[in-house]
Each structure stands twice: as C-alpha cells, then as structure tokens.
Amino acid sequence: MNAGAPPTILVVDDAPQNVRLLEAVLSANGYTVTAASSGAAALEKVRAELPDLVLLDIQMPELDGYEVCRRLRADPRTEFLPVVMITSSDSEVRVNALEVGADDFVTKPFDQQELLVRVRSLVRIKQYHDLVEAQAAELGEWNRTLETRVAEQTRELRASRTRVVSAADAERRRIERDLHDGAQQHLIGLAVRLRLVRDIADSEPETAKVMLDALGDDVQAALEQVRDLAHGIYPPLLLDRGLPEALGAAARKAPISTSVHADGLARYEPDIEATIYFCCLEALQNAAKYAGQGASATVHVLDEDGSLSFEVRDDGVGFDAKSGRVGAGLTNMQDRVGAIGGSLRVESAPGRGTSVSGLIPLGS
C-alpha cells in the first residue's frame, strides 16, 4: 500500500450479490475494493497488484478458498498477506480455514460491524508488517553501504600503510645516500689530508699550518652537512623550542618569501609537532616548485576548540584541484596527517593560488 492511499481489499466470491454487498460496506468505510469471481482470478489479481487483505469465500468451483489460501501461504510474496475466510457457522469448516493459514473468518450472514472490526485489525497488522519490512530493507541497505565504505577505507588504509612503509624506506635510502655522498666522503677527504699534514709537519711546518687552516674550514663545512642532514630527519629546534621557532627557521630558509603566524601555541606530542612541521615544509617546497615566479606564502597554525589546525597558502598560479590529480607530496601529507587521526584539504584554482590545510584533533 502506498503511503496515504486507502487500504485495498480483494473480495473473492463467485456470487455477484455477495461481492456487491461487501463492496458497498467496505467502500463506505474508506477501503478500496477489487473483486474476483474465482480462485484462479484471485491469484492473478494478487500477483498483478498486491492487496492489503483478502476476503475469501470457501465454497467456489475448481479452486476453492482452501486451495487459494494454501497457495498464497506457499508464495514468499504473500505468505504474510492477511486472509479472512467467509465461512458457514460449522466449526469444522472454521478449523480447516485456520489450518490452511487463514488469519480470521467471518460467518454468513455476516455482521457488518464485526466484519469491519476484523478487517481494520488485520489491515493495521499488515501495515505494521510492511513498515517493519521497509525498515529492515532500509537497514540492510545502510549495512551494505557501511560495509562498502568500511571495505574502501580498509583498502585505503592498507594502501596508506604501504605508502608509509615505502616512503620510510625511500627516506632511509636518501639518508644513506646523503651520508655516503656528502658527509662521509667529506670526512674521508679530511682524514686523508690530516695524514698528509702529519707526514709533512716536521719537514714543512709552514705548509702544514696552511693546510691545517684550510682543514678547519673543511671541518666546518662537514659539520654543516651533518647539521642539515639532522634537520631533515628531525630538526633540533623543533625538539627544543617547538613549532613557532622551527617553522620560523624553515620560513627563513624557504625558496619563496614566507611569513609564519603561530602565536600562542603550546607544546604537543612529538608526532603531532613533526606532522605539522613536515607537512608545512612539504607544502612550501611544492609552492616553490609550482606557484610561479614572485609568489609568496603564508603559514598559519592555530590551537582552537580542541584541535590544532594549520594552513600553507600561496598566491601563485594555482591549479585545477577538481582534476583529481594528486602528486606524491600531497599523498605523503595525507598519509602523515591520517596516521594521527587528522584530515587534509587542498583548495586551488587557476590564477587563485593554493591552500593546503590540515586539522588534527588533540587528545583530552
């Protein structure tokens, strides 16, 4: 039954005068009535348009009421369809009607008030049953949607973990390469030259002194390389002084003009501070690559309403953020932020610059 529509009653009787009488009583009380003059016609009408209740005469040629009711109960679509048998007063007939699955019965000649009470009660039960079925179907759809979303999130989580592991491996290889190609080679060169100074110190003291002065500069350069490498792993300034000073130092070294607004921040868990610092650093590096000549950037970090938010905004050329193309840098940032329960958002449009913002909930 459609919401708001009157209930539909199917009257099944091979006597036209009985059909007219029932139709008159039911129609006058707000029901829509359809009729069938045989058991076979009744089954066809039920298949074509499911009624809300069937008033079924027992004594009919070919398919009697018992057989019609038995077939209705055998069909999953109609096994709960209310059926009221129209019977004589014979108690055995009533028992047979109930045995084949009838929900109730009325006797001929029937009392109109009794008929209406029985119909009204069974129609109400049918409506409750339909409501429960609709809610169960809706709940099932919600469950399927939830299962799909959980499966998608599980796949994304696995992919994210794979990317995190791959990024960590790549970072270790980079550090190893930088150590080998940079500081390690520099230190090896220093060791060779120190041995040379030792060998000539007695015979050529002046030359040895000049070489030692030069080695001092080389040692300072090696220290700078090691310091830069350490900053890339975890900047000491972030560990010692927190986000405002670490971001300020990063801004001063950034390839594009950058201002930082991070006043009033406290100290936070190391993973939170590291996530914000490296995401801001990555966003500044992306801005330097893609924002265009003369672009500038602004970094904002705010502690508010139990969350820590950050934004890196540039005034460069921008890009079409709706294209769905996400570079490795943004993917790394999403993985970093997602690993600590945060979210990342990228907004950009051609000619309107780019904003990379994140929100990280703080524990109680």
pLDDT digits (tens, 9 = 90+) for 181-190: 666 676 677 6
pLDDT beyond 90 at 25: yes
**Token output for 319:** 């890009």
Q: From the CB of residue 237, how many other CB atoms can be counted at a distance below 10 Å?
A: 17
Please report the pLDDT score of residue 233 as a whole number: 55
Average pLDDT over residues 22-36: 93
Nearest to 124 by CA among 188, 227, 53, 76: 53
Q: How far apart are the first and last CA of the chain?
A: 52
Q: What is the pLDDT of residue 31?
A: 94
Reported as a pLDDT band with limits 50, 70 and 90, residue 1 is low
What is the architecture, at CATH level 2, of domain 236-361?
Answer: 2-Layer Sandwich (3.30)
At the fourth CATH level, the homologous superfamily of domain 8-110 is Response regulator (3.40.50.2300)
In sequence order, the 6+-apart residues with CB closer than 8 A to the CB of 333 are 279, 282, 283, 344, 356, 358
Closest CA to 267 of 208, 308, 222: 308
Grouping H, G, I as helix, E, B as strand and the rest as coil, residue 344 is strand
Question: Which is higher by pLDDT, 196 or 157?
Answer: 196
pLDDT band at 224 (very low <50, low <70, confident <90, very high): low
Where along the chain do its domains lie? 8-110, 163-233, 236-361
Position 232 pLDDT exceeds 60: no
Give the chain's mean pLDDT: 83
Please tell me the pTM assigned to this model. 0.48
Question: Which sign, positive or negative, has the C-alpha torsion 183, 185, 186, 187?
Answer: positive
> Quick one: what percent of the chain has pLDDT higher than 90?
34
What stretches of the chain show up as alpha helix (H) in DSSP?
16-28, 39-48, 65-74, 91-99, 112-178, 185-200, 205-233, 236-241, 243-253, 270-290, 328-339
Cα three-residue angle 290-160-363, rounded to 5 degrees = 95
What DSSP element (H or E) covers 9?
strand 8-12
Q: How far apart are CA 329 and CA 332, in angstroms?
A: 5
What is residue 322's predicted lDDT score, i.e. its pLDDT? 76
Contact between 283 and 316 under an 8 Å Cβ cutoff? The reply is: no
Nearest alpha-carbon partner for 37 in 53, 8, 14, 3: 14
Strand pairing class (307-314; 354-361): antiparallel
Nearest to 269, CA basis, from 335, 342, 332: 342
